[in-house]
Amino acid sequence: MRHLLSTRDLGRDETIAILDVAEDMAGVADREVKKLPALRGKTVVNLFFEDSTRTRISFEAAAKRLSADVINFSAKGSSVSKGESLKDTAQTLAAIGADAVVIRHHSSGAPLVLAESGWIDAAVVNAGDGTHEHPTQALLDAFTIRRRLHGRAARGKGLDGVAVTIVGDILHSRVARSNVWLLTTLGASVTLIAPATLLPIGVREWPVTVGYDLDDALAAKPDVVMMLRIQSERMHAAFFPNAREYSRQWGLDDERLATLGADSIVMHPGPMNRGLEISAGAADSAKSTVLEQVANGVSVRMAVLYLVLSGTRLAGERPATNERTAS
């Protein structure tokens, strides 16, 4: 794998192969010495144009467990915000000798631009770009679902027949986009639930079922309910009237939690707004995978860094130029 830019470009076999490598990596976390020498001598740069401590420390832990050297470059508040361009930053990192750049950027498509620019030869891993994609989050979500369903026998399996309902701000969510492509590629059926203002125009052309009513969606007994974070600035831009109304219509409260099937799970990419999109009861219930997601995130990111830095060619991996056509 040369880069990881989006889940839209990933095929089923390739995705399962990444998840299987992540299973191997998860084994390392269970050992007394949580470290492999696999990436010794490699330099991973965490290039964050947006604050995200959670994602950064997850990538940092992943790189360190593989013995890579890690440089954290927070572009926010540095020379970058004073007009230094992505190009200059990339060329600086190339000069430093970065082997992989983990990039978080507020602008959709920035990781692709970086990967194709010729400014730097490093592997590029998208750690979230604008409102476009967050592929490692979708991989860790798929990994988490697969483990809950199949436990230690998860290797080699997809998510065929699994019903996943994603609730919240689909319009601005890179997590939702990456999950839609990845989960459907793995055979899951995905339902998106949100007020109409928070669904992108054209969402009905996506390979999903779209609805407005959370209670209807829960009555269909989905295997997985994934709640998305609602950002407070959305309230001020007329996407919905206020937090109370949002919470009443689209929040996973204790009553709705009680209607879920016995084996169903509740996911959230974090950080959570307890009491807004998810109640404390739901967040802390046995159905919640929130902390598993965090732990699995490290394993998945280890797998991704390992694969892009070792140049391993995966089963079913397509050439980088082979764009996936619209579904």
Partner 1 sequence: MTETIIVRSARLSDGTSGDILVRDGVIAELGTVSSPADRVIDADGLLALPGLIDLHTHLREPGFEQSETVLTGSRAAAIGGFTVVHAMANTSPVSDTAGVVEQVQSLGDAAGYVTVRPIGAVTVGLEGKQLSEIGAMANSRARVRVFSDDGKCVSDALLMRRALEYVATFGGVIAQHAQEPRLTEGAQMNEGALSGQLGLAGWPAVAEEAIIARDVLLAQHVGARLHVCHLSTAGSVEVVRWAKARGIDVTAEVTPHHLLLTEQLASSYDSRYKVNPPLRRDEDVRAVREGLADGTIDIIATDHAPHPVESKECEWEAAAFGMVGLESALSVVQTSVVDTGMLDWADIARVFSRVPAQIGQLAGYDRGIAVGAPAEFTLYDPKASRVFDTSHLHGKGINSPYLSTTLPGRVIATIHGGYATVLDGELVDAETISRHSAVQSGAHHG
Q: Which of 174, 234, 268, 287 binds partner 1 (CB under 8 A)?
A: 174
Residue 37 is given by DSSP the state -
57 binds partner 1 (CB under 8 A): no
Q: How far is the CB of 116 from partner 1 (least distance, A)?
A: 8
Please state whether the peptide bond connecting residue 271 to the residue before it is cis, i.e. omega within 30 degrees of 0.
yes
Q: How far is the CB of 214 from partner 1 (least distance, A)?
A: 21
Site track 176-215 with partner 1 (rule: CB under 8 A), x = hit = -x----------------------xxxx-xx---------
229 binds partner 1 (CB under 8 A): no
Site track 74-113 with partner 1 (rule: CB under 8 A), x = hit = -----------xxx-----------------xxxxxx-xx
Structure tokens at 216: 């209807």
268 binds partner 1 (CB under 8 A): no
DSSP alpha helices (H): ranges in the chain? 12-29, 53-65, 86-96, 110-116, 135-150, 174-185, 214-219, 233-236, 243-250, 254-258, 280-284, 290-310
d(CA 122, CA 143): 26
Query: Residues 293, 88: contact at Cβ < 8 Å?
Result: no
Site track 286-325 with partner 1 (rule: CB under 8 A), x = hit = -------------------------------------x--
Query: Residues 103, 117: contact at Cβ < 8 Å?
Result: no
In this structure, how many other beta carbons lie within 10 angstroms of the beta carbon of residue 225?
27
Contact set with partner 1 (CB under 8 A): 8, 85-87, 105-110, 112-113, 129-133, 171, 174, 177, 200-203, 205-206, 323, 326
